[in-house]
């Protein structure tokens, strides 16, 4: 395990490198607004505190864990063929990420895969795009070209060209890289966003789920403004479960690495709570009424980073009338 922290000289360099004061302030303000995405209380978000911890998961796959988890989890495949990385957190954290990757293997990142477009997963694209080929679902490219950060939050300036994926797919794509197949798969439904991919390192038996699975003891966030869907997420998680086995190492979008048993439990409580909301909606109850009723105790204790009324609202909005 390697620990890296952001030094004060690095903060100065960030300012010099075009993360100018205004942009940085906006970023922090945005992070505060959108803190529900990564599950950290708004008052605690100081990116200078973040350390990138590196965990080896197989001969060729590593997990880079930001602590505290202000950015998304990163996966790295490194070996004879070179380096492939999944996600890049936020721009101010990219120097530390590059240092962490260099600690695994020297050389440029050849391929950078975005699990989805959100600012805390693809926010560092511009720091890699000049020398890395960025690959993502086609909707990720669309959302980044719109200047979208997450949901209805937009950047003031467009993303620079180097932050935009140059290779996109609509269903899936497979890398034959470092001795294994690495499948990048759109699971068929709009879900956390309208363009989520899971990345399955077949031989290593490691999967990076993106934010379709956030392991922070709560319900998922659904990006409704881009067409995200709670029922789509439920069905995609079921598809993930069908792909993996009890030995699979699961890297969630945020939070600690976990196993199929935990992912199954997450799926089951999402499915059960969707059913609860659906029955009431079908019976003609209003959103207010359903929120007022709430969820049974066994489901209402999962308040990781979103309130239960917010989850009910996201489910309600995802259900067809
Ligand atoms: Zn996200």
Question: β-pairing, 74-79 with 61-67?
Answer: antiparallel
Quick check: is 252 in a domain?
yes
What's the pLDDT score for residue 104? 98
Domain span holding position 172? 8-318
- Per-residue tokens: 199: 């990345």
Give me the residues near ligand 1 (ion), CB cutoff below 5 Å: 118, 211
Quick check: is 3 in a domain?
no
Quick check: is 239 in a domain?
yes
For residues 311 and 168, give the distance between their C-alpha atoms in angstroms, rounded to a whole number: 31
Ligand 1 centre to CA of 160 (Å) is 21
Q: How many domains does the chain have?
A: 1
Q: Which of 240, 142, 150, 143 is nearest to 189 (CA)?
A: 240
Quick check: is 105 in a domain?
yes
For residues 274 and 143, give the distance between their C-alpha atoms in angstroms, rounded to a whole number: 27
Which residue stretches of the chain have pLDDT < 70? 1-45, 321
Quick check: is 1 in a domain?
no
Ligand 1 centre to CA of 259 (Å) is 20
Ligand 1 centre to CA of 305 (Å) is 13
Ligand 1 centre to CA of 254 (Å) is 9
Ligand 1 centre to CA of 265 (Å) is 20
How buried is residue 320: exposed, middle or buried, by Cβ count under 10 Å (0-12/13-18/19+)? exposed
Ligand 1 centre to CA of 181 (Å) is 25
Q: Are 138 and 168 in contact (CB under 8 A)?
A: yes
First to last CA, the chain: 50
Quick check: is 244 in a domain?
yes
Ligand 1 centre to CA of 283 (Å) is 32
**Dihedral sign from CA coordinates of 230, 235, 239, 242:** positive
Quick check: is 221 in a domain?
yes
Ligand 1 centre to CA of 135 (Å) is 17
Question: β-pairing, 111-113 with 82-86?
Answer: parallel
pLDDT one-digit tens code per residue, 102-131: 999 999 999 999 999 999 999 999 999 999
Ligand 1 centre to CA of 229 (Å) is 13
Ligand 1 centre to CA of 284 (Å) is 32
Ligand 1 centre to CA of 15 (Å) is 26
Ligand 1 centre to CA of 214 (Å) is 9
For residues 221 and 229, give the distance between their C-alpha atoms in angstroms, rounded to a whole number: 9
CATH code for the domain of 293: 3.60.15.10
Quick check: is 2 in a domain?
no
What's the pLDDT score for residue 320? 82
Q: Are 120 and 193 in contact (CB under 8 A)?
A: no
For residues 81 and 78, give the distance between their C-alpha atoms in angstroms, rounded to a whole number: 8
Phi, psi (deg, nearest 5) at residue 36: -65, -20
Ligand 1 centre to CA of 231 (Å) is 16
């Amino acid at each position: 395990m390697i620990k890296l922290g952001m030094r004060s000289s690095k903060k100065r360099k960030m300012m010099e490198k075009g993360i100018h004061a205004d942009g940085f302030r906006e970023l922090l303000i945005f992070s505060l607004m959108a803190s529900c995405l990564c599950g950290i209380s708004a008052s605690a978000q100081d990116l200078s505190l973040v350390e990138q911890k590196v965990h080896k998961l197989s001969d060729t796959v590593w997990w880079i864990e930001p602590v505290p988890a202000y950015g998304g989890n990163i996966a790295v495949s490194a070996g004879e063929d070179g380096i492939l990385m999944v996600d890049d957190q936020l721009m101010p954290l990219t120097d530390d990420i590059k240092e962490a990757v260099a600690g695994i293997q020297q050389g440029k990142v050849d391929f950078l895969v975005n699990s989805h477009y959100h600012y805390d997963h693809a926010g560092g694209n511009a720091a890699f795009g000049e020398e890395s080929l960025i690959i993502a679902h086609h909707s990720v490219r669309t959302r980044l070209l719109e200047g979208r950060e997450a949901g209805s939050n937009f950047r003031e300036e467009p993303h620079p060209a180097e932050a935009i994926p140059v290779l996109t797919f609509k269903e899936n794509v497979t890398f034959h890289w470092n001795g294994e197949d690495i499948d990048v798969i759109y699971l068929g439904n709009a879900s956390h966003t309208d363009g989520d991919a899971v990345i399955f390192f077949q031989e290593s038996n490691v999967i990076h789920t993106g934010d379709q699975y956030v392991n922070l003891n709560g319900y998922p966030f659904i990006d409704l403004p881009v067409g995200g869907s709670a029922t789509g997420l439920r069905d995609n998680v079921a598809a993930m479960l069908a792909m993996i086995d009890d030995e699979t190492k699961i890297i969630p979008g945020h939070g600690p690495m976990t196993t199929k048993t935990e992912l199954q439990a997450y799926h089951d409580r999402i499915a059960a709570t969707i059913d609860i909301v659906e029955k009431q909606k079908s019976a003609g109850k209003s959103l207010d009424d359903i929120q007022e009723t709430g969820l049974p105790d066994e489901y209402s204790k999962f308040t990781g980073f979103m309130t239960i009324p917010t989850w009910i609202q996201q489910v309600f909005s995802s259900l067809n009338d």
